[in-house]
Amino acid sequence: MTLPFVFLGLYALLLLVIGAVAARRAARSPEDYFLAGSGLGSVVLFMALFGTNCTPFVLVGVPGLAYHDGLAVFGLNVPIVALGIPLTFWAVGLPARREARRLGALTPAELYSRLLDNRAVGWMLFAVFTLYTLPYMATAVEGGARSVVFASDDSVTLAWAGSLILAVALLYTSLGGMRATAWTNVVQGGLFLGFMVAAAWVGARSVGGWSAVLGRLGEIDGGRLLTRPSHGLYGGGALLSWSLVISLTVISFPHMLVRLIAAKSAPSIRRVALVYPFALVALWLPAVLLGLLGRDLYPGLVGRESDRVFALIAGEVLPGALGALGLVAVLAAVMSTLDAQLLTLGSMLSRDVLRPASDGRTEVRRGRLFGLLIAVAVFVLWRFVPGSIFSQAAVAFSGYVTLFPLLLLGLRWQRCSAMGAFWGMGLGNLVLWWCLGQAEGSAPAAMTPVFWGLLPATWGFLAALLGTVAGSYWRPR
């Protein structure tokens, strides 16, 4: 039990040191604090985006899913995001960076409110971003805290573990702003990516190598785990809907979009987009293979019990030091997303809900204070709001997709107007939540096809697209 916590202590210390170093350059102006001086070069930008994009879901949830559904989990996600995510970097990220520079905008909500010349657009965007981001943050804290409690054999309480995760993330984020979160993402992304590759390789070697593992799995249920099923998300309209959701949702995260706005140059975005598919394969393939290894070693896990596969392999199969790094890898994935969310929601509260302060240092102080407020709100939501609220996190990805038509058309269609923005966001979310209410069955509502075999997210997206176009034709920019 000791070694994981030694690594954890060293990891937290390293993050705080990076935060302190970044702080020496961060407190000069709001642009320095919120956007790292708009100077993220290709390598840091790539790691910042990749670290922010990858959550504990990939490390813990994907092996759990692959345990039941097999290799098909890889095909369900990776090919389409390998194409879709880089394409959205071009479609939205590239013009967002250009227009943010032109208009002096530091947050996504500020960019669209200035672009469409209406402050209420920024308020509404902030409200929708917050609606979907807070529960998402709370579930990330929950996942990280549970990993700490599990590794400590219950000697650390859930509340303490969650508080510490939030406190460390908040501290280095407040110290160095986006520069600190981007630099720490380099460490965090390297940690969890390196761990996953090493774990899949070393883990399989300890039981005879991948050929032996896949050979044994091929004999289960006629090789079902090595082929693609046609049920659920793996076929028909549900597959199309899922592809749409996972391709378009990532650029719609405010904490991803703001990092593209902070890119040093337009070519750096292009270079990042070209490397992104390789990194996705490097992370997802080991995650799926770990799930298969878990199925081989620990048969009989039922339902969500399969989420324990990651911890079981780290604790029982991998050699001491590598296994101990598993806990750090999970927390790296948690915090690399959490820090960006704290900073982005705090900056929007500071600049979009309130008017930007006239003095730069006051603006930065306000950003730090609002980051603290967001962290407290996440803690309260996590600890004191009934569990059913967390089911909102499952619909967060679907919710973000309803923003995509506005994010794209606002930048690429000169007719797109504030009226279109209101109609798009309003109609999209109305239809999404109505469809979620229509979903029946044991699967989460966001994953249940409702009409014509399509997921609620597709209907929300189509409604948002219709609303944005209709509103913009009715009252153009």
Partner 1 sequence: MDASPQHGVVRAPLLLISTALALVAMHLFMAPPARLLFGVLPAELALRLGWVALAILWLFLFARFVWRGEEQADEAGP
Nearest-approach distance from CB 277 to partner 1, in angstroms: 5
Alpha carbons 349 and 355: distance in angstroms, whole number: 9
Residues 271-300 that bind partner 1 (CB under 8 A): 273-274, 277-278, 281
Beta carbon of residue 44, minimum distance to partner 1 (angstroms, whole number): 20
Q: Give the three-state DSSP class for 357.
A: coil
Work out which of 82, 92, 279, 374 binds partner 1, going by CB under 8 A: 82
Nearer to partner 1, 412 or 475 (CB): 412
Which of 41, 79, 360, 453 touches partner 1 (CB under 8 A)? 79
Q: Are 36 and 182 in contact (CB under 8 A)?
A: yes
- The only residue of 6, 10, 43, 83 in contact with partner 1, by rule CB under 8 A: 83
What are the DSSP calls for 262-302, one per residue? TBS-HHHHHHHHHHHHHHHHHHHHHHHHHHHHHHHHSTT--
* Residue 473 interacts with partner 1 (CB under 8 A): yes or no: no
C-beta of 83 vs 443, nearer to partner 1: 83
Q: Which is nearer to partner 1, 235 or 267 (CB)?
A: 267
Contacts of 125 (CB under 8 A, 6+ apart): 108, 109, 112, 113, 352, 403, 406, 421, 425
Binding mask 227-256 for partner 1 (x = CB under 8 A): xx----------------------------
In the three-class reduction of DSSP (H, G, I as helix; E, B as strand; rest coil), residue 209 is classed as: coil
Dihedral sign (CA 382, 35, 397, 458): positive
Give the binding range for partner 1 (CB under 8 A) out of 210-218, 247-255, 364-372, 423-431: 210-218
Counting contacts by CB under 8 A, is residue 214 touching partner 1? yes
- 2-61 residues in contact with partner 1 (CB under 8 A) are none
Which neighbouring-strand residues pair with 451? 454
**C-beta closer to partner 1: residue 98 or 475:** 98
Residues 384-423 that bind partner 1 (CB under 8 A): 412-415
* Nearest distance, CB of residue 281 and partner 1, angstroms: 6
Per CB under 8 A, 224 contacts partner 1: no
Of 68-76, 112-120, 245-253, 440-448, the segment contacting partner 1 by CB under 8 A is 68-76
User: DSSP letter at 93?
Assistant: I
Q: Judged by CB under 8 A, which of 34, 46, 57, 74 binds partner 1?
A: 74
Q: 274 vs 380, which CB is nearer to partner 1?
A: 274
Residue 226 as a binder of partner 1 (CB under 8 A): the answer is yes
- What is the distance between the alpha carbons of residues 78 and 281, in angstroms, rounded to a whole number? 7
Residue 263 per-residue DSSP state: B
Q: φ and ψ at 359, to 5 degrees?
A: -100, 130
Joined tokens for residue 140:
């990330």
Q: Which of 15, 54, 71, 111 forms a contact with partner 1 (CB under 8 A)?
A: 71
Both tokens assigned to 364? 């930065």
119 vs 228 by CB, closer to partner 1: 228
Q: Which two tokens stand for residue 445?
A: 């509502």
Residue of 130, 104, 99, 132 whose CA lies nearest to 409: 99
Number of residues forming the site for partner 1 (CB under 8 A): 33
Alpha carbon distance 351, 113 (integer Å): 11
Our finding on whether 75 is near partner 1 (CB under 8 A) is yes
What is d(CA 220, CA 197) in angstroms, rounded to the nearest whole number?
26
Residue with tokens 């530091």: 106
Rounded Cα gap, residues 281 and 214, in angstroms: 19
Contact predicate 238/449, CB 8 Å: yes
Stretch that binds partner 1, among 84-92, 345-353, 364-372, 419-427 (CB under 8 A): 84-92
In the complex, the residues that contact partner 1 under the rule CB under 8 A are: 70-72, 74-75, 78-79, 82-83, 86-87, 90, 94-95, 98, 211, 214, 218, 226-228, 266-267, 270, 273-274, 277-278, 281, 412-415
